């Protein structure tokens, strides 16, 4: 069509019969495409007994409906109410099963977790992020081997254990020092916390650290941020990759690819530096461990190749940076807008920890209200609205529905974390819901911000450590407040639904408690 338009506008003498011929060819091709899609639809509907769902439009499916509300959670709740806890959506031409509510999620991903432990074929966003090879995307034996290697290796370097606390505390101190430099002036929390969280992963992955003013690392973090907040799992181009060839960059695919190349170049550079300096007798970090594994395996049959290597490292950086930075940013919003809650957390920290040292993991069990606040931040902000898609390893039956092998299944985490039957008043920010009458912490089964089952978040233990240490130190050292003369409202900042659910940019002030 672009060629036709060019000929018509720049060459007025263009033969109209040729123009009609090209239109006829395009119409024929479009008709064939619609026919194929219709056949696919009826094949899935009749050969398999899929769950019910809304009517869909050829090519675009239900995308238009899903994007009709600024907040996708509203539309998902309507669909659940109308069609039940398991329903079918067409995202582009692809049928997708959505699973809602804790009972259905528990039944499918815990009780029948082995049957639903695969990933569907890698979508365009996952290909952009990790080439479809990282721990997030792979299935079967490759996933099992990768997951085992990652967990064993990272645990050797202190992953999820107090052994790592010293390195996290080093980053916490630098984080607090950077906030101090704003000198009570308004700033965006996402900037300093993103660099600090990235540095914790850096310690584990390549045994290094970047200064907060390192330009190369800043560009890397900006690239991660752009990717995660501009890749939507429900976008039309995700399910119709051919749209990336549309002239211009209407779907931002070209920009996303450039950002991804920045990250890929950075990771490959780190790998090459480690390969040159590799010493089998001195395995200091994850990259060293992977190089050692590569040298011990047959390159023709192993998954321990440079391609898988780079993809895994990118997955670790993305997951380990964005989860922490987005959660701490949400926490800073609630602290700045709920001074009563912030004051109660500070008083608890002051009574148990004092102000001579930073809070530590040994204080975690004693800081009950602080932990309850963090849990409520994770529940309320729900940074992963819909979990990474799963797929059945073979044809399966779910509650009377027949689902084919490999079909994409979306677990709707928000349907659990915002369920009135579980939480009573899920729309209210209320940390007290996680504290019982005896003053001890409650941990409901339905609290699944990191998902559940065989493919829950591999970095959950590290994430919980970091979130606690960063937030407790932040409240101990600073009083967070809105910008003078302005108010912060959840309606104004809630609404970036990309790879994670992040707040729109906002400013706060940090007043040093020691200066008072």
- Which residue positions form the known binding site for heme? 457
CA neighbours within 13 Å on the CB side: how many for 218?
7
Cα dihedral 443/447/449/452 (nearest 10): 100
Tally DSSP H helices, then E strands, for the chain: 20, 9
**Which residues define the annotated binding site?**
457
Count of CB atoms situated within 10 Å of the CB of 35: 11
Query: Residue 127 belongs to what H/E stretch?
Result: helix 124-130
Secondary structure (DSSP) of 52-101? P----BTTTBTHHHHTSSSSHHHHHHHHHHHH-SEEEEEETTEEEEEE-S
What's the token pair of residue 96?
Answer: 């997708």
Chain-centre distance for alpha carbon 79: 23
Secondary structure (DSSP) of 257-306? HHHHHHHHHHHHHHHHHHHHH--TT---SHHHHHHHHHHHS-TTT-S-SH
Burial label for 511, CB within 10 Å (0-12, 13-18, 19+), is: exposed
Do residues 382 and 501 lie in contact, with contact meaning Cβ atoms separated by under 8 Å? yes
- Give residues with Cβ within 8 angstroms of 23, minimum separation 6: 4
Do residues 218 and 196 lie in contact, with contact meaning Cβ atoms separated by under 8 Å? no
Angle between helices 460-477 and 165-181 (to 10 degrees): 40
What's 109's DSSP letter?
A: I
Burial annotation 167-189 (CB, 10 A radius, 16+ → b, else e): bbbebbebbbebbeebeeeebeb
CA neighbours within 13 Å on the CB side: how many for 13?
0
Q: Phi then psi for 98, rounded to 5 degrees?
A: -110, 130
CA separation (Å) from 180 to 106, 198, 511?
A: 45, 20, 8
Burial label for 112, CB within 10 Å (0-12, 13-18, 19+), is: middle
Cα dihedral 320/321/322/328 (nearest 10): 100
- Give residues with Cβ within 8 angstroms of 136, minimum separation 6: 119, 126, 129, 130, 315, 319, 388
């Amino acid at each position: 069509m672009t060629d036709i338009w060019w000929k018509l506008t720049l060459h007025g003498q263009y033969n109209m019969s040729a123009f009609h011929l090209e239109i006829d060819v395009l119409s024929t091709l479009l008709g064939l495409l619609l026919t194929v899609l219709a056949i696919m639809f009826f094949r899935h509907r009749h050969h398999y007994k899929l769950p019910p769902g809304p009517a869909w439009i050829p090519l675009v499916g239900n995308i238009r409906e899903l994007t009709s509300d600024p907040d996708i959670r509203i539309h998902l709740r309507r669909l659940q109410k109308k069609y039940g806890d398991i329903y079918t959506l067409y995202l582009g031409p692809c049928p997708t099963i959505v699973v809602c509510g804790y009972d259905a999620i528990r039944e499918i991903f815990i009780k029948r977790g082995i049957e639903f432990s695969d990933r569907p074929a890698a979508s365009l966003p996952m290909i952009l992020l990790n080439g479809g090879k990282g721990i997030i995307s792979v299935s079967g034996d490759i996933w099992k081997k990768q997951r085992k290697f990652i967990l064993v290796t990272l645990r050797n370097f202190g992953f999820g254990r107090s052994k790592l606390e010293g390195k996290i505390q080093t980053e916490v101190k630098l984080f607090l020092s950077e906030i101090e430099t704003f000198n009570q002036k308004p700033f965006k929390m996402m900037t300093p916390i993103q660099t600090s969280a990235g540095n914790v992963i850096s310690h584990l992955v390549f045994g290094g650290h970047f200064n907060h003013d390192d330009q190369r690392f800043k560009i890397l973090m900006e690239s991660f941020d752009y990717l995660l907040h501009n890749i939507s799992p429900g976008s039309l181009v995700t399910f119709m990759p051919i749209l990336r060839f549309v002239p211009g960059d209407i779907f931002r695919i070209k920009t996303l690819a450039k950002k991804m190349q920045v990250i890929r170049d950075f990771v490959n550079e780190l790998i090459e530096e480690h390969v040159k300096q590799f010493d089998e007798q001195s395995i200091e970090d994850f990259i060293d461990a992977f190089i050692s594994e590569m040298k011990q395996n047959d390159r023709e049959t192993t998954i321990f190749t440079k391609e898988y290597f780079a993809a895994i490292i990118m997955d670790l950086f993305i997951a380990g940076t964005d989860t922490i930075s987005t959660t701490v940013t949400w926490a800073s919003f609630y602290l700045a807008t709920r001074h009563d809650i912030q004051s109660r957390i500070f008083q608890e920290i002051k009574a148990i920890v004092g102000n001579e040292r930073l809070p530590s993991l040994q204080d975690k069990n004693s800081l009950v209200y602080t932990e309850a606040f963090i849990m409520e931040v994770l529940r309320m902000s729900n940074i992963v609205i819909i979990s990474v898609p799963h797929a059945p390893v073979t044809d399966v039956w779910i509650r009377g529905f027949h689902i084919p092998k490999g079909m994409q299944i979306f677990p709707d985490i928000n349907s659990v974390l915002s369920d009135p039957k579980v939480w009573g008043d899920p729309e209210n920010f209320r940390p007290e819901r996680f504290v019982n009458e005896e003053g001890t912490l409650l941990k409901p089964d339905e609290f699944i911000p990191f998902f559940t089952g065989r493919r829950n978040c591999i970095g959950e233990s590290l994430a919980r450590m970091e979130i606690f240490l960063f937030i407790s130190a932040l409240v101990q050292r600073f009083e967070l407040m809105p910008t003078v003369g302005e108010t912060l409202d959840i309606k104004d900042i809630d609404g970036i639904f990309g790879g994670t659910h992040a707040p729109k940019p906002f400013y706060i002030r940090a007043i040093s408690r020691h200066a008072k």
